[in-house]
Structure 1
């Protein structure tokens, strides 16, 4: 949950551009660094990572290049001049990132000139001459209280005893707290977008509002409020294309039909469940949050299975992990129909439904229409009470 919540902090452009390249310049004056110190700049262009270096003379260094759109970048200072590869191996951990001693600065590179100044270090540097970086600073300042709340909730979860952490009540409580914080975050991002319809950060913020499973009804009006320049950019047009595709599984749409084999190799078709409320539950044996959510799903299934409700589990396990899939079904007490083509993230049904994160679910009504999505914790029980009546 924490990684999903902090997704907004990455703000990494994910869509390719085909626009004309524009020149950029980064001019920096940081302390009194001198030879053999070097500065390194790392950023992504499409699928490629670009790394550049510059010598530092009396604290001054310059980078130049071309980009097609603003890109998220990291600037480092290698004070001992050991070279990029050795510097990275000495200062970065694959799991935790840069060490506390590493002098680095995250920024956006955009066309034109970006100025960086500091009396001593990159970590204390001031960025000027860049609208995108100005917008980024304002947005981060607005989001800081939310990030601090998320950190506090994470610490609360870590401080709980193992018994508490395994408790469905405790897990549901944590889920509810993160959900409330996510709602607060989304509201703040929407406010930023509406106040800055021509900012490149608004386009990225919209991606964070969308999350891994966007609601077209929510996202499309926000997209339409952006400036024509942003909407007609290559990235804007690709986002428009993605939104059009998402309408296939929007609430109110007829659920796309599919066929996959169950645990015994028998073909099961979604449309064969017509006449019942069906929860399509995307999960996997290797997915920790899925396994934590399963007790809630089991409890809800037992409560409503006699009221024209059932579940169709779709696993994103691999061919080599079929035994783990079967063992998880038994261990977690998943009595409903389970299917999978055992193709991991390339699962045909997951691709059809645009599933990029699990657990994820879709509630289908007896006529085959999608009536709700992503019902976690008590939300699933609440929705079924609304549709089927209180038990």
Structure 2
């Protein structure tokens, strides 16, 4: 979760084929006190491919040139240690920046991570936004350090895990508040478009992000990236809270078909996970605890695994090892899992709580939030007749 909070804003727009004309960019850099011929790397995404360009400092100067379809996030790394790109770590001299058409300039004394970027409107906006978010980054880093220093016993404690998750969630909510204010105050900034796409994480609420999108300038909304974001709203609305949960059928561990609709009349948590997913496995003890607490109160779990085509043995082993005694299904298509596509699942773990009427009650419930939500909905008076 820390990485989602602490990393600078990146585009999370769906990949669709739109005609775009590549535009040229140039980066001119100068490190005033560096005389060694260090290697500099520039890493960015171009379509579906990752680009890794490099050059050598000559008396502290360097230059990159290329073409991009649209403004895109990038990393610049100065290899002081001479280890090559494969040896670079997150503690090295790294600069987060954006590439956009035209010429930009990078100047510093001896480190790209401390460089000043000029000639780029989007990088100017990014510096302003990062200044606003810096206190949140610092808080998140302190919490992460605390987690790293915790004993194995503490880390396995449900109370400790829920406490840490609550702390991270509070920071994430504050981050979204800052982003919302920034978007509304900067309707012409391309960074605002990228910030809208990042709001709400992997299962954003269209009712929240669509009004923010509508607040942007017409130029941003008409851009290829704006149109891609707009196109994603239909899928997000299909899995919004209050919507009827899309039905699906997949085979269980014995190869027998199981439909979501067969659980109608119960509260069911659709839990998207996989045996290879570390965060999923870490969350499993919490789901087990909640399942055992509420399984006799009209509640169950339906696990949907995104394991690979050759991963059935690993899937079954994870079910056994983690004590997951509820129903499990999968088409073993990895990220092409058809149920995951219906629910616009782009990262895991992810879950959706479905009510007895088949409508989505809540989603992305972690730690104590899952238990508190179930306590609330299972304690609420049930309406007679056909229900809501």
TM interval, short-chain normalised: 0.7 to 0.9
Q: Does the alignment pair 1:288 with 2:288?
A: no
1:127 maps to which of 106, 117, 128: 117
Q: Mind listing any 5+ residue stretches in structure 2 that lack a counterpart?
A: 381-388
Residue 335 of structure 2 corresponds to which residue in structure 1?
345
Q: Residue 24 of structure 1: CA displacement?
A: 3.0
Residue 5 of structure 1 corresponds to which residue in structure 2?
5
Q: Residue 373 of structure 1: CA displacement?
A: 0.7
Q: Distance in 2 between matches of 1:365 and 1:42?
A: 45
1:317 maps to which of 303, 307, 330: 307
1:301 maps to which of 291, 302, 327: 291
Q: Residue 28 of structure 1: CA displacement?
A: 3.3
Q: Does the alignment pair 1:195 with 2:185?
A: yes
Q: Distance in 2 between matches of 1:367 and 1:227?
A: 40
Residue 227 of structure 1 corresponds to which residue in structure 2?
217
Q: Distance in 2 between matches of 1:22 and 1:240?
A: 23
1:143 maps to which of 98, 111, 133: 133
Q: Residue 329 of structure 1: CA displacement?
A: 2.4
Query: What TM-score, normalized by structure 1, do the two folds share?
Result: 0.86
Choose 116-125 or 178-187, whichever is displaced more.
Answer: 116-125
Q: Does the alignment pair 1:236 with 2:233?
A: no
Counting only pairs closer than 5 Å after superposition, residues 32-181 of structure 1 correspond to structure 2 as: 41-51=42-52, 59-75=60-76, 87-89=84-86, 92-93=87-88, 96-97=89-90, 100=92, 102=93, 105-181=95-171
SS in 1 for 2:8: helix
Q: Distance in 2 between matches of 1:319 and 1:106?
A: 36
Q: Residue 60 of structure 1: CA displacement?
A: 4.4
Q: Distance in 2 between matches of 1:50 and 1:333?
A: 43
Q: Distance in 1 between matches of 2:116 and 2:368?
A: 46
Instruction: Check 1:151–1:335 CA distance in 2 against 1; reply closer, same or farther (3 A cut).
Output: same
Aligned residues of 2:270 and 2:304 also touching (Cα < 8 A): yes
Over aligned residue pairs, what C-alpha RMSD do you find? 2.8
Number of matched pairs? 379
Query: What TM-score, normalized by structure 2, do the two folds share?
Result: 0.87
Residue 386 of structure 2 corresponds to which residue in structure 1?
none
SS in 1 for 2:203: coil
Q: Distance in 1 between matches of 2:363 and 2:100?
A: 38
Q: Distance in 2 between matches of 1:244 and 1:150?
A: 33
Residue 385 of structure 2 corresponds to which residue in structure 1?
none
Q: Distance in 2 between matches of 1:374 and 1:293?
A: 12
Instruction: Check 1:222–1:233 CA distance in 2 against 1; reply closer, same or farther (3 A cut).
Output: same
Instruction: Check 1:282–1:31 CA distance in 2 against 1; reply closer, same or farther (3 A cut).
Output: same
Q: Residue 274 of structure 1: CA displacement?
A: 1.4
Aligned residues of 1:363 and 1:370 also touching (Cα < 8 A): yes
Residue 19 of structure 2 corresponds to which residue in structure 1?
18
Aligned residues of 1:251 and 1:370 also touching (Cα < 8 A): yes
Instruction: Check 1:13–1:375 CA distance in 2 against 1; reply closer, same or farther (3 A cut).
Output: closer
Q: Residue 22 of structure 1: CA displacement?
A: 3.3
Q: Residue 345 of structure 1: CA displacement?
A: 2.1
Instruction: Check 1:121–1:269 CA distance in 2 against 1; reply closer, same or farther (3 A cut).
Output: closer
Q: Residue 64 of structure 1: CA displacement?
A: 4.1
SS in 1 for 2:311: helix
Instruction: Check 1:55–1:292 CA distance in 2 against 1; reply closer, same or farther (3 A cut).
Output: closer
Per-residue CA deviation, residues 194-243 of structure 1 (Å, 9 max, x unaligned), is: 11111111112222223122121221111111111111100010011112
